[in-house]
Amino acid sequence: MAKTINVALIGQGFMGRSHSNAWSQVNRFFKPELKPVLHTVFGQEFEKPEIFADTWGWKNSSTNWEDTINNPEIGLVDIVTPNFMHAPPAKAAIAAGKPVACEKPISATLDEAREMAEAAEKAGVDSFVWFCYRRAPAVALAYKIVREGKIGDIRHIRASYLQQWADDSVPFAWRFKKAFAGSGAHGDLNAHIVDMTRFVSGLDITEICGAITETFVKERVVPSGNMTDEELRYSKDAKTGTLKAEVEVDDTTLFLCRFNNGAIGSYEAARQATGNFNRNGFEINGTKGSLKFNFEDMNYLEFFDATLPREYQGWTKILCTDPSHPYAGNYWPAGHLIGYEHGFTSMAYDILLKLSGKEPTVPLPSFMDAYNTQRILEAALRSAEQKSWIELKDVK
In terms of CB distance, is 132 or 151 closer to ligand SOE? 132
In terms of CB distance, is 193 or 243 closer to ligand SOE? 193
Q: In the complex, what is the shortest distance from the CB of residue 15 to ligand SOE, in angstroms, rounded to a whole number?
A: 7
In terms of CB distance, is 101 or 151 closer to ligand SOE? 101
CB environment 322-361: b (16+ within 10 A), e (fewer): eeebbbbebbeeeeeebeeebbbbbbbbbbbbbbeeeebb
| Residues 6 or more apart whose Cβ sits within 8 Å of residue 222 | 171, 172, 232, 234, 243, 244, 245
Q: In the complex, what is the shortest distance from the CB of residue 188 to ligand SOE, in angstroms, rounded to a whole number?
A: 5
Q: In the complex, what is the shortest distance from the CB of residue 47 to ligand SOE, in angstroms, rounded to a whole number?
A: 17
In terms of CB distance, is 14 or 312 closer to ligand SOE? 14
- Could you say which residues in the range 179-238 bind ligand SOE, by CB under 6 A? 188
Q: In the complex, what is the shortest distance from the CB of residue 242 to ligand SOE, in angstroms, rounded to a whole number?
A: 25
Cβ atoms within 10 Å, residue 124: 8
**Interface map 286-325 toward ligand SOE (x if CB under 6 A):** ----------------------------------------
Q: In the complex, what is the shortest distance from the CB of residue 191 to ligand SOE, in angstroms, rounded to a whole number?
A: 8
- One-letter amino acid for residue 277 of the chain: F
In terms of CB distance, is 332 or 340 closer to ligand SOE? 340
How far is the C-alpha of 64 from the C-alpha of 76, rounded, in Å? 16
Counting contacts by CB under 6 A, is residue 278 touching ligand SOE? yes
In terms of CB distance, is 61 or 163 closer to ligand SOE? 163
Q: In the complex, what is the shortest distance from the CB of residue 176 to ligand SOE, in angstroms, rounded to a whole number?
A: 12
Counting contacts by CB under 6 A, is residue 14 touching ligand SOE? yes
Cβ atoms within 10 Å, residue 388: 12
Q: In the complex, what is the shortest distance from the CB of residue 96 to ligand SOE, in angstroms, rounded to a whole number?
A: 27
Counting contacts by CB under 6 A, is residue 115 touching ligand SOE? no
In terms of CB distance, is 187 or 265 closer to ligand SOE? 187
Q: In the complex, what is the shortest distance from the CB of residue 391 to ligand SOE, in angstroms, rounded to a whole number?
A: 28
Q: Are 220 and 247 within 8 A, CB to CB?
A: yes
In terms of CB distance, is 199 or 304 closer to ligand SOE? 199
- Could you say which residues in the range 124-163 bind ligand SOE, by CB under 6 A? 163
In terms of CB distance, is 127 or 163 closer to ligand SOE? 163
Q: In the complex, what is the shortest distance from the CB of residue 281 to ligand SOE, in angstroms, rounded to a whole number?
A: 13
Residue nearest to ligand SOE (CB): 188
Measuring CA to CA, which residue among 36, 141, 118, 128 is closest to residue 80? 128
Q: In the complex, what is the shortest distance from the CB of residue 165 to ligand SOE, in angstroms, rounded to a whole number?
A: 7
Mark residue 11 as left, alpha or beta (left: phi above 0; alpha: psi -120 to 50; beta: remaining): left
In terms of CB distance, is 205 or 273 closer to ligand SOE? 273
Would you tell me which residues interact with ligand SOE (CB under 6 A)? 14, 163, 188, 278
